[in-house]
């Protein structure tokens, strides 16, 4: 992203066109924010997966809505985003791991180490 892009997104007003350390630090902040969101998604996924089958969040997670889709590219679903996070940290068979709370906590700790703080 360019400096001008950072100005627009973060609502900054930089007088000079030089990249300052504070603007460069925003890139790290954005990376940390993405990692923080990924860890939150993984924690929520494990929480919902451990719920009993009749609970609404679990039904929504495992459900397949009926009907026809609109034309064009399908919208990005939450589970697609979480699947990308799981592939990033190299997790397979996540449903089995999520059933064990201790295993899932270990996985979250490893994800924090692999991706950052």
pLDDT tens, position by position, 40-69: 999 999 999 999 888 988 888 888 888 888
Asked if the model's pLDDT at residue 18 lies above 90, the reply is: no
Provide the pLDDT for residue 24.
53
Handedness of CA 12, 16, 18, 22 (dihedral sign): negative
Lowest mean pLDDT, pick from 31-35, 74-78, 88-92:
31-35
- Helix/strand/coil for 17: coil
Q: Using an 8 Å Cβ cutoff, are 50 and 96 in contact?
A: no
Residue for token pair 């009926």: 66
Q: Where are the domains of the chain?
A: 32-52+77-117
Give the whole-angstrom CA distance, residue 97 versus residue 103. 6
| Confidence grade of residue 17 (pLDDT, cut at 50, 70, 90) | very low
Residue for token pair 């990033």: 88
pTM score, whole prediction: 0.68
């Amino acid at each position: 992203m360019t400096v001008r892009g950072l100005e627009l997104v973060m609502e900054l007003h930089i007088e000079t066109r030089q990249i300052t350390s504070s603007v460069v630090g925003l890139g790290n902040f954005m990376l940390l924010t993405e990692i923080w969101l990924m860890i939150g998604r993984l924690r929520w996924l494990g929480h919902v997966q451990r719920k009993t089958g009749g609970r609404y969040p679990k039904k929504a997670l495992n459900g397949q809505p009926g009907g026809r889709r609109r034309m064009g590219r399908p919208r990005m679903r939450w589970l697609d985003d979480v699947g990308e996070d799981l592939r990033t940290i190299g997790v397979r068979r996540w449903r089995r791991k999520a059933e064990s709370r201790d295993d899932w906590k270990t996985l979250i700790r490893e994800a924090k180490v692999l991706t950052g703080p």
